[in-house]
Chain A
Amino acid sequence: MPKWFTPLAGLCAVMFAASPVLIANAPYESTMGLVQKIFYYHLPSAWIFLLSAIVCGIASARFLFGGSPRQDRLAYAAAELTVLFGAIVLVTGPLWARKAWGVWWQWDVRLTSSLMGWMVAWAYLLVRKYGGPGSDKLAAGLALFGMANVPFVYVSVNYWRTIHPATSVVPTLPVDMGMALWFSVACFLLLFVLLLRLRVHLEEQRARLDALYLAVDD
């Protein structure tokens, strides 16, 4: 692992431990009250969910057209993180919606397209695990669809009538709410970089193990 990994992991742990304090001190939103504080973890995890789908898609495209195993390992790691952060988004969102909207789930375009992106990431992992020989390229094709879905997820709330808030919410936040949000975004972004590096390291070790098995068999 690189030298920067351990100090940054420590920093990330401290930041995550401090984040509830900032969130608790942020002002209450006037109509939703306490439950709106789910927003400070929900939104950053949603952004990381979309970012990891993009990383997975770009790495998969580079693997498909360049054949680099390094890109394939990056895509595999990013797909797993897409599933992780997607699960966080899809659980925290309904918990907030139950109080704010009165329903757990609504089949509107933002929620449905997010669910679809999450299922594409799951499909990627399942194809990699059970697809047999050639599954890496098949999964890479799936990742391109997952990446193509990302802009649709993001802009959907601005073009369709939906119960979900539009993308104009963040720029209009008051300073105290904005500080807590951007601190959480920094926490999740740092965590994403660290987890991605850790997960790529696991794939590198697996590749090394495969090479060793081949060497022993020869």
Chain B
Amino acid sequence: MTVSTQTVSTIQFPYKRTLGPVMGRFFSELTARRIVGIRSGERVIVPPMEYDPETGNELARDFVEVGPAGTVRSWTWVAEPIASHPLDRPFAFVLIRLDGADTDLVHVLDAGAEDAVHTGMRVAPRWRDEPVGRIDDIVCFVPGERAETPEGEPGEAQEVTTMEYFSTITYTDVLSPTLVRYASNLRAGKLTGQRCPQCNRVFLGRGYCSVDAIRLGPELDEDLPDRGVVSNYTIVTPTPYPGQKETEPFARASVVLEGDEMVIAQQQILDLPVSEIRVGMRVRAEWMPEAERDAAEITSKGWGTVAGFIRGWRPTGEPDEPAEQYMNRVF
């Protein structure tokens, strides 16, 4: 049975930016529906910077209110917005020279149609109903001189010091032929590797020898035992972070396959309290039921993982091996 030659992964995290005194002021002013730049010599830079971008010199905190209207200096039309775009209908990304500024602000323009956009046109902000101190407090710019402002006064500026940034990335990993073969064999309940003809070491899923840097092709495939020895382990007290599901101390063991070959790292030992895991303990793989085997964890960055195929390792009850011989083998 073959497996897919690609795996798709998503990682995401809510980063928390510290804005510092200058960008913090810019975002704070947005909550009062004001746009500020900073004076740098003869120029006014918008958004403000802590330093002169040409010399690196620190700028005095001389903030200047600019806009809210401005002139489009350049633009590009987005005919088919995607989910991460700020508007859900066709729009233009624009460089706007706000009145009183000497640099251009990147923002979006809601102009309806591409032929309504031109360099030199006048635009003004459409403000969000409830400003929060982010760049999208300006929902977008619209053609004309007049800002679109919700009813009522915005009130005093609120102090904004941080910005939440929810980052998400989905990427596709293309598997090497060696990894595809490795995963296919795992699906069939077999652990396979390639033995280097020069140094006699076995490697899982790499297709080359890490020591001799030579290619290890399919002609060097070898079945490996699904039994081994716990060479070392770690007991982790989990710390909370976004995405962390572990709440109790958990153990991860390294297993050296029988015959002192490859190490399989970060394995679970089944049916044994964490405190009873020992170096030298003999274990045997417990495979997932065939229907549940899944190659989603096989990626080009995770050589030799058995996640999705082997649930964990069960002590065989045989006498332990001498620990010293194995302890160095962790990854």
A binds B: no
Give chain B's interface residues, CB within 8 Å of chain A. none
Give chain A's interface residues, CB within 8 Å of chain B. none
